[in-house]
Each structure stands twice: as C-alpha cells, then as structure tokens.
Amino acid sequence: DAKTTQPPSMDCAEGRAANLPCNHSTISGNEYVYWYRQIHSQGPQYIIHGLKNNETNEMASLIITEDRKSSTLILPHATLRDTAVYYCIVRAFLDGNKLVFGAGTILRVKS
Amino acid sequence: DTAVSQTPKYLVTQMGNDKSIKCEQNLGHDTMYWYKQDSKKFLKIMFSYNNKELIINETVPNRFSPKSPDKAHLNLHINSLELGDSAVYFCASSPNVGRGNYGYTFGSGTRLTVV
C-alpha cells in the first residue's frame, strides 16, 4: 500500500475554508485517493475520492497535484460539526479492496 | 433506515467469556468488513467477506471467528475474551470488489469492554 502523511492536527475558524493536506509520494498509477472522516464516537464517513482530476461534491472539494504526489481536501465553509479526524487513504485496489487507515488529521473548528 | 446496523452498541463482559456482535446492511453491497479501533484510535481491518466468502484475514487471533450467513450479514464471534480485546468494533460494507472505487459505509460501532 502507498503510504500517506498528514499533519496530526489543524485548527480552523468557523465559516472559513479548511484546507487539509496529504502527501502520498509513492502512489501508484492506478491508485485512487480517498478521504474519510470520523466524528467523535461515530463510524468513519466517506467524503470524496479522486484519481487525477479535481473533484467536488456537496461535502468537499479534492485537489490532486499534477504529479499525484499530494492532495488537499477543502471544506469550503467549515462549521463546528466538521470537527473530526480526517483520513487520507490511498486505495490498495488490488489488495482485496481494503482501506488502510493512518493516524489522520484532527481538525478543530473553532467559533 | 439505517444502512449498516450493528448490535449491541455497548457490550461489557468478563474475561474468558464468549460473545458475538452482529452486523446487517441493507444497501445491497456484496462486501462486508470488520474493523477494530483500539484505545490509541487506530482503525485496523480484521476481516472482509465477499458474497459470504472470506477474502481478507489480517492475522487476527483464531479466537475471532467471523460468520456470514448471507451477503447482508457479517457477524463476529469472539471466544475466551481477553482484556486486550477491549475496543470499538466497526462493521462496514461496500459494492463488489473490482466494480470501481466506491466508498465504504460504516456502522456506528460496538464498544466492547472486557473486565
């Protein structure tokens, strides 16, 4: 599995954009980048995924660099309910479809 | 409707006991998983079943035995419980292996405490 590196924690002001970085320099050509989050005491929640192109959905945007060695998850207008651990995962596509979670980034949204 | 449901939500039991955790998904997914999240908050995959067939077993002690009676259910039975088994166990499901990169749907977890 390609490994990811994320900062252990970040703070963001409520209403501002939260930009969460992720490095995945050993990513393979057919591996996707996934983002999940885990709000306290709940199960992880799927946010978004992408291969090469930038992606956007109702929750967030995903920006992947041209060399695919890093990406950024953007929450455009963070709210207090976005406080969670955010996981950047490179999908082990050929390895039984499993997701391997790292330590993630604790995002604290403050009022 | 809850997409992935686990029961019980909390389980407190003594060392040496045998216990089961049940998981059901109503999403029509073919693949189901068990993950363990320990006190350090790391999520680790334990098992994966695809259409009732075991496809991932991450060197979990054989005291842990998953069972999938059909593709909508994946139960976890634990024999001879130990203190180190205390953790939150999450069930998840996803569409079939190889059918593209779809997200997992997780249940809300079962907090197991062994005393």
What would the pLDDT profile of A15-74 be if each residue is shown by its tens digit? 999 999 999 999 988 888 999 999 988 999 999 999 898 999 999 999 999 999 999 999
pLDDT for res B97: 53
Give CA–CA dist B63/B111, Å, rounded.
18
pLDDT for res A2: 58
- Contact in structure between B88 and B37 (CB atoms under 8 Å): yes
Strand partners, B111: B10, B88
pLDDT for res B30: 87
Nearest CA in chain A to B4: A43
- Taking CB atoms and an 8 Å cutoff, what residues of chain B touch A45? 106
Scan residues 49-78 of B and list those with Cβ closer than 8 Å to A: 50, 55-56
Nearest CA in chain B to A95: B56
pLDDT one digit per residue (tens) for chain B, 115 residues? 679 999 999 999 999 999 999 999 999 988 899 999 998 888 999 998 888 888 878 878 999 999 999 999 999 999 999 999 999 999 999 886 555 556 789 999 999 999 9
- Taking CB atoms and an 8 Å cutoff, what residues of chain A touch B105? 46
**Which of A43, A98, A100 is nearest residue B106 as measured by Cβ atoms?**
A43
Q: With CA atoms as reference, report the closest residue to B95 among B4, B31, B24.
A: B31
Q: Is A94's pLDDT higher than 60?
A: no
